[in-house]
A and B are shown apart, each in its own frame.
Chain A
């Protein structure tokens, strides 16, 4: 399993009710169902991913998260997860609010735009960063709301969101001790565990 998913699954208790926003091919939900008897649903819009989930027996619901989650009741999930999708949302702040409304706890991961490579690219070349990890050019990228760790934490403070845990990994989702020395400069992917 992808290293960030491994970190996330460790934060999810046995038998929880989990909603995975942008669940991809259902890797995390499949693992949680098998190893932790988790009852989960994934939301997804990619057609191939939806078919893959259906065939794997993962509960997948075709839905554009940007349309809102109003049909889901307050506090109806133990954990709401969103991996690598915050930056493609039209209003990341509203989505985080919604996640905290329907889930008792939320886990969010996103790429850190404050990473030294992104800073260097913009600083020296004067162009929006393009890399193997973030391969899009500015005009065709689905990533419309990049932020840094600091930005995200400021949002949490403004909205009274409590950060229970956080960690950073590199672009291969590996946990490296030295990333924690200066996460906003060295970490490539942030993983936050938040509650209201």
Chain B
């Protein structure tokens, strides 16, 4: 059925579930006795297993990075613009792995999955997981797949933080690290926005202290508000002005409190859609993982010391109107890498799209992405890859 999907799509894809029965000790001190990770892969692993690329997802992402789950699926995976035949992460050259992180809500072990000890969903009892914990679980996934060293670990936003943590925790296990629209740690402002989101969720009467599954309800309003405030931080002032301006749904002022401006209904629509597609406990966990991320903390707050043992090459990318993780934050990473004498390149992409720009295939972004990935591909032996 070659006509069903675009030529540069990986086409029909299927997730798979991998069970890990070796306990995972977490940064919090708690232990997950066993867990599942749901993954998707695209392309073929070459004979010497040197062409594997790990994609780490951001706050609301998952394992469905590219392609379609069915011919009816309306939208492809969340980073379909970057992953596929001939795209920057070229599935003709690379074997690409996407996963849903621990604590997620799309099939990996998380709050909405049953706790093996009780048979009931973990809910609020699911342990707080950190970026380090994720990276450790991803390293076990690499072991399971027989991948000793990734050609590259790539991520945007919270995904970029995982890529950075990979370089620090497993220096021998990746050749390239691509950190896009990320930061070395959150600012007070970043944490403040996350706290508003958490309060919105936990104060929703339907939240039931996280035990809403048993009550057969969801904290829809809270999750919707959390997403709305989050969404504002993903866009730029200029981008919102361009997209909505002060456009109104009807021509005149109604003098009531119903949504009138286009931006209001857009945000409500986005929040509404998200509130039924995402799990509130997972949202809380993801924002905590963001808040806790600070790899320099263990090195007397010196990021360059934290990066001193890394062995890979780095590509750092930021976007001019991103104010969630602004270019300054990426430059902190770059400066620390230069100070630590590590190979790094940095590009600052002009964009009107704010933080969301990392998901949007703008021409210069894609040019830089392609250029770096050709560099990554240069270290990988070329071979026929239609054999898998």
- As a 0/1 sequence over residues 70 to 82 of chain A, the CB contacts with chain B under 8 angstroms (1 = contact) are 0111001000000
Residues 308-358 (chain B) with a chain A CB within 8 angstroms? 313, 315, 331, 334-335, 338-339, 341, 343-348
Structural contact, B371 and A59, CB atoms closer than 8 A:
no
Q: Does B368 contact A (CB under 8 A)?
A: yes
Q: Could you tell me if A71 and B331 are in contact, using CB atoms closer than 8 angstroms?
A: yes
A 131-150 contacts with B by CB, 8 A: none
- Chain B contacts for A55, CB-based, 8 A: 371-372, 374-375
Interface residues of B in 366-382 (CB under 8 A from A): 367-368, 371-372, 374-375, 378
Residues of A near B334 (CB, < 8 A) are 61
Kindly state the separation between the CA atoms of A185 and B46 in the bound complex, as whole angstroms.
62
Task: Please state if B338 and A54 are interface contacts (CB–CB under 8 Å).
Answer: no
Contact of A61 among B346, B374, B375 (CB under 8 A): B346
Contact of A54 (CB < 8 Å), options: B331, B339, B348, B371: B371
Secondary structure of the B contact surface, majority rule: helix
The answer to whether A60 touches B335, judged by C-beta atoms less than 8 angstroms apart, is no
Contact A54 B375 (CB under 8 A): yes
Does chain A have a CB within 8 A of B249?
A: no
The reply to whether B345 and A60 contact each other, CB–CB distance below 8 Å, is yes
Q: Could you tell me how many residues of chain B have their Cβ less than 8 Å away from some Cβ of chain A?
A: 22
In the complex the two chains form, what is the Cα distance from A59 to B372 in whole Å? 11
Give the complex CA separation of A47 and B320 in angstroms: 14
Interface residue from B313, B335, B347, B374 paired with A50 (Cβ < 8 Å): B347
Q: Check A151 for interface membership: any CB of B closer than 8 A.
A: no
- Residues of the A chain whose Cβ atoms lie less than 8 Å from the Cβ of B374: 55
**From residue 101 to 131 of chain A, which have CB atoms closer than 8 A to chain B?**
none
Min CB–CB distance A24 → chain B (angstroms): 15
Instruction: Assess whether A54 is in contact with B345, with CB atoms less than 8 Å apart.
Output: yes
Q: CB of B364 within 8 A of chain A?
A: yes
A54-B315, A71-B331, A72-B338 known; A59 and B368 CB under 8 Å?
no
Which of A17, A54, A61 is within 8 Å of B372, CB to CB? A54
Size class of the A contact interface (CB-based, 8 Å): 20 to 34
Nearest residue in B to A54 (C-beta to C-beta)? B371
Closest to A55 in B: B371
Interface residue ranges of A41-67 to B (CB < 8 Å): 41, 47, 50-63
Contact surface of A with B, Cβ cutoff 8 Å = 17, 39, 41, 47, 50-63, 71-73, 76
Q: Can you list 24 contacts pairing A with B, beta carbon distance less than 8 Å?
A: A17-B341, A47-B364, A50-B345, A51-B368, A51-B371, A54-B345, A54-B347, A54-B372, A54-B375, A55-B371, A57-B313, A57-B375, A57-B378, A58-B345, A59-B343, A59-B345, A60-B346, A61-B345, A62-B346, A62-B347, A63-B346, A72-B335, A76-B338, A76-B339
Going nearest first, the 3 A-B pairs with the smallest beta carbon separation are: A55-B371, A54-B371, A51-B371
